[in-house]
Amino acid sequence: MFNVRIREIDRNLLFPPCHSSVNTMKLALNFGGDVIKQPSGIPSGGLADLQGILSNAILLFIIVGSFLLVIYIVWAGIQWITSGGDKAKLTAARGKLTWAIIGLVVVLSSFFIIDAIGYLFKVNLLKLI
């Protein structure tokens, strides 16, 4: 009586290519010989949506992290300038500047590591294009 059958499967569903095409799987309900199609305009979810969410989250963390690190570097520079020769303030400013540069290297290297992981699994996690 009721049977659900897959009408159309994209062969790249499990490992989508590294471009922005949307991979979809359409389901149809067969009721007494009549095919009831999925209504249009309803999100279907799937790997393409998960890839979009991960891509946006990763890019957001990289952008916000880079922005905060630049502000931290400027703050350390201002502290260095206003230290007035005080050894304790100069050491604190140098420490902040060192950790800010290390943080910037970590954020930028995470960008390349994520790109390499995406290349290995053939998924564009950064979706820059």
How much of the chain exceeds pLDDT 70, in percent? 63
Residues 31 and 51 occupy one common structural domain: no
- 34-37 β-sheet, strand order: 2-9, 25-31, 34-37
- For the full predicted model, state whether its pTM sits above 0.75: no
| Cα angle for residues 113, 108, 76 (degrees, 5° grid) | 150
Residues 8 and 69 occupy one common structural domain: no
Residue 42 lies inside a defined structural domain of this protein: no
Residue 57 lies inside a defined structural domain of this protein: yes
Give, for 9, the enclosing helix (H) or strand (E). strand 2-9
Residues 68 and 6 occupy one common structural domain: no
- Helices and strands (H, E) in the chain, number of each type: 2, 3
Which residue segment(s) compose the domain that 10 sits in? 2-37
How much of the chain exceeds pLDDT 90, in percent? 31
Please state the domain count of the chain: 2
